[in-house]
Amino acid sequence: MNVLVADHDQATHTLIGSVLARLGHETIVVTDGAEARRLYGLHRPTLVILDLEMPNQSGLDLCRMIREHDPQRETFVLVLTERDSEDDLRAVLDAGADDYMTKPASPENLFARLTIAERRIEQDRARRRAELELQRARFLAGIGETTITLQHEINNPLSALLAHAELMLMDLRANGSSTEQMEIIFEQGKRIAAVVRKLAELREPKSVEYAAGKKMLDLTAPEEQ
């Protein structure tokens, strides 16, 4: 797990670095708020540990920036603060922090808090995976319902139209009349029937680019791809 530590105090760097090393994580350490902002945008770390008091940009501002760029809350933010009043801690949580610790933090407490953070990060990942799977299941269910609806609402009248068009073609040919327009109607009707058939056979729906950023279902048969 990549971790960004933003704190102006060297002793805190050493403490956090040793605890994170025990947990087996890679750490990027900065002392400047502006540099922390730059490195967050560059690396998008899984865990950010912020001090409230830093030069150039405060920890609260950094926390708000992270939440602005991370609406899914894929980055876990732990704030370290020497302030422990109710208003200060409420401000930390209102800024979007997931957790906070008051300074000075002991190695044992920091280890325990970071272990809890690890578990919450993994739980959040599992939740997001489950949500994506649920979205896909609903999407596939919607495709199935749409296919059944199209088959019911289109196939029956379309079959009747094709049958009558074929009979009219036979009559035109028997009379020696032009069949060009009726052949166009018949062929386009068969194209519509083919689209409905492909929808019914769709097993792994995929999207393809259509136009102006819009997408459409890919109805290309596997052997045609």
Once rounded to an integer, what is the mean pLDDT over residues 109-135?
84
CB contact at 8 A, 26 and 15: no
Tens of pLDDT, residues 111-122:
888 888 888 888
What is the reported pLDDT for 25?
84
- Residue 98, pLDDT > 60, answer yes
- Residue 225, pLDDT > 50, answer no
CB contact at 8 A, 16 and 7: yes
- Buried b / exposed e across 120-157, counting CB within 10 Å, b at 16+? ebeeeeeeeeeeeeeeeeeeeeeeeeebeebeeeeeee
Once rounded to an integer, what is the mean pLDDT over residues 54-67?
86
Distance CA 121, CA 183 (A): 62
Q: Which amino acid is at 67?
A: R
What is the reported pLDDT for 134?
78
Strand ordering across the sheet containing 47-51: 26-30, 2-6, 47-51, 76-81, 99-102
Q: Phi first, then psi: what are they for 8, rounded to 5°?
A: -85, -5
Which run of H or of E encompasses 208?
Answer: strand 207-209
Once rounded to an integer, what is the mean pLDDT over residues 24-39?
86
Q: How confident is the model at residue 221 (pLDDT cuts 50, 70, 90)?
A: low
Q: What is the mean pLDDT of the chain?
A: 82
Bridge partner residues of 218 (DSSP) = none
Once rounded to an integer, what is the mean pLDDT over residues 171-190?
88
Q: Which amino acid is at 130?
A: A
What is the reported pLDDT for 77?
92
Q: How confident is the model at residue 48 (pLDDT cuts 50, 70, 90)?
A: very high
What is the reported pLDDT for 96?
87
What is the reported pLDDT for 136?
73
Tens of pLDDT, residues 193-217:
888 777 777 767 677 777 666 777 7
- Residue 222, pLDDT > 60, answer no
- pLDDT > 90 fraction of the chain, expressed in percent and rounded: 3
Bridge partner residues of 47 (DSSP) = 3, 76
CB contact at 8 A, 96 and 77: yes
